[in-house]
Amino acid sequence: MSTEQRQELRQCLGKFATGVTVVTCDGSDGPCGITANSFSSVSLQPPLVLWNIAKVSNSLQAYLDAEYFAINILSAGQQKLSSHFAQSDHTLWDNVQYDTSADNVPLLRDTVACFECRTHQIHDCGDHFIIVGEIERFRSSNDEPLVFYGGQYAALKPSGE
């Protein structure tokens, strides 16, 4: 595929509106967090979810090694948090409000939902790894979610039907 075709494909894939998550784990150098919109539910029995991490990510090893991780689904007011965890330095937790789970995983506050997972499977897939987690605990709120569409942040609006 040429560079232009890759760019077109990227734009085309961006037509799929998603929520925004920060995936967190307890790394060997401290807490880790990475913004990810590749989250998807997989199975109810057993309860499985997945997300993808780029092989070039600086925090790849932390997630490959992690026995536990959490998917924090961001609320409409948490765009700054999304941008923060989309930066390369994931060790900047000083100004981030979080609690720590029973498995020592950072859980962000005021999110729409949170899934605490145990790593179930990791699949090597192209330039990413697919990480599948079994949900051990979960919670949600009635807050509005942050939305990502066409490479930009957006908000939900009623469908009008």
Among 14, 19, 48, 52, binds ligand FMN (CB under 6 A): 52
Tokens of 156: 């939900």
Counting Cβ atoms within 10 Å, is residue 81 exposed (0-12), middle (13-18) or buried (19+)?
buried
Contact pattern for ligand FMN over residues 25 through 44, marking x by CB under 6 A: ---------xxxxx------
Query: Is the CB of 69 or the CB of 158 nearer to ligand FMN?
Result: 69
CA dist., res. 147 & res. 143, Å (int) = 13
Query: Is the CB of 37 or the CB of 111 nearer to ligand FMN?
Result: 37
CA-to-CA separations, 140 to 54, 65, 79, 94, 106, in angstroms, rounded:
27, 27, 18, 25, 16
Task: Tell me if 54 contacts ligand FMN by CB under 6 A.
Answer: yes
Which of these ranges, 2-10, 55-63, 104-112, 136-144, lies near ligand FMN under the rule CB under 6 A? 55-63
Task: Tell me if 59 contacts ligand FMN by CB under 6 A.
Answer: yes
